[in-house]
């Protein structure tokens, strides 16, 4: 299996790099201990996107990290291991997630994550050159931004920190003296500028059951179970009485398998190469800025946020299969 072999090989890079760091820290006179997270962070066998077995992992990490004979502990992010000793990886942004997990299990005072940006910005500076830094945001705001597609912090990193009110500092290794952004429950000022988040390379899938079964909701559970079974995470969902639209990452192989399982019961339309634009604290000007010249396929709006699924042109949707 590709996913199993991938985890056994890729995990070695984390092991070797932390070994090098540990040796350097010892060489400059700092007492350190090196920990192998394949033996400490215990997961299930969902390779490439493993789930933490929390109780057993917490017991092991508390026993391993004591600081009785070391001032610093060097450990790996992104990797863990099964109870039978096979290496696993934690999926996208797994290293940051590891920091959140370990902080929770050890009741840490704070977590610092170092990036190549000055903190969390209100937009990707590669997309909007006038992007500005957010000094502090709430856990909820961070999760909303990350789920919408912001790339600095993944939503799953926030949850273990929020559970114990551990603040997260996002700082720049390019400018280490700058304060960065703090994510916490103690927010002193309200957000005053729009926040723009773009998630590209999406596929908008529309499902229309031939027997109108969505009216009674009978097919919804089966549909979303199939999404999960094929490893497809939904980034946006919109349902009506007789149809459902779902936006997902453009993974051709997984989507083709999903369509094969659904095509006998559903009429399936989809648009490739769409993008999700999320705006928080939107204004008329900010909405115009992101929608001008675009073909809006779907819109969701609340009091504080608005989301668009858009394309650059009017390409017609494909029916029942990728081309």
pLDDT value of position 320: 58
Q: What is the pTM of this model?
A: 0.81
Per-residue pLDDT tens over the stretch 48-69? 999 999 999 999 999 999 888 8
CATH number of 2-190: 1.10.510.10, 3.40.1160.10, 3.40.640.10, 3.90.550.10? 3.40.1160.10
pLDDT digits over 261-307, tens only?
A: 999 889 999 899 999 999 999 999 999 999 999 999 999 999 989 99
- As a whole number of angstroms, the distance between CA 305 and CA 203 comes to 22
What are the tens digits of pLDDT across the range 75-111? 999 999 999 999 999 998 899 999 999 999 999 999 9
pLDDT tens, 162-191?
999 999 999 999 999 998 999 998 775 566
Tokens 């603040």: give the residue: 167
319: pLDDT strictly greater than 60: no
pLDDT in tens, 104-133: 999 999 999 999 889 999 999 889 999 999
Least confident of 14-28, 54-68, 139-153, 208-222: 208-222
196-319 to CATH, choices 1.10.10.10, 1.10.260.40, 3.10.129.10, 3.30.2130.10: 3.30.2130.10
CB burial readout 119-145, b (16+ within 10 A) else e: bbbbbbeeeeeebebbebbbbebbbbb
The rounded distance, in Å, linking the Cα atoms of 295 and 306 is 16
Domain boundaries, the chain: 2-190, 196-319
Mean pLDDT of the chain: 91
């Amino acid at each position: 299996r590709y996913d199993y072999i991938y985890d056994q090989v890729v995990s070695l890079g984390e092991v070797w790099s932390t070994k090098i760091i540990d040796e350097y820290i010892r060489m400059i006179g700092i007492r350190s201990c090196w920990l192998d997270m394949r033996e400490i962070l215990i997961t299930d066998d969902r390779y490439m996107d493993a789930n933490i077995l929390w109780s057993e992992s917490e017991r092991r990490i508390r026993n391993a990290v004591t600081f009785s004979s070391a001032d610093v502990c060097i450990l790996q992010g992104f990797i863990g291991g099964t109870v039978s000793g096979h290496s696993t990886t934690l999926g996208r942004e797994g290293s940051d997630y590891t920091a959140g997990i370990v902080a929770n299990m050890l009741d840490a005072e704070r977590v610092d994550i170092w990036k190549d940006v000055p903190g969390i910005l209100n937009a990707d500076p590669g997309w909007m050159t006038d992007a500005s830094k957010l000094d502090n945001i709430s856990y909820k705001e961070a999760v909303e931004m990350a789920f919408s597609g912001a790339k600095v912090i993944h939503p799953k990193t926030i949850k273990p920190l929020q559970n114990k009110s551990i603040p997260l500092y996002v700082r720049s290794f390019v400018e280490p003296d700058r304060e960065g952004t703090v994510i916490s429950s103690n927010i002193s000022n309200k957000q005053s500028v729009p926040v723009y988040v773009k998630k590209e390379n999406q596929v908008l899938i529309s499902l229309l059951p031939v027997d109108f079964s969505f009216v009674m909701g009978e097919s919804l559970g089966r549909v979303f179970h199939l999404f999960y079974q094929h490893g497809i995470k939904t980034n946006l969902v919109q349902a009506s009485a007789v149809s459902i639209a779902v936006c997902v990452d453009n993974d051709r192989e997984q989507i083709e398998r999903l369509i094969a399982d659904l095509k006998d019961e559903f009429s399936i339309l989809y648009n490739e190469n769409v993008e999700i634009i999320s705006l928080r604290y939107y204004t008329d000007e900010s909405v115009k800025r992101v929608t001008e010249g675009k073909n809006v396929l779907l819109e969701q709006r609340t009091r504080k946020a608005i989301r668009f699924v858009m394309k650059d042109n009017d390409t017609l949707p494909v029916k029942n299969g990728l081309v």
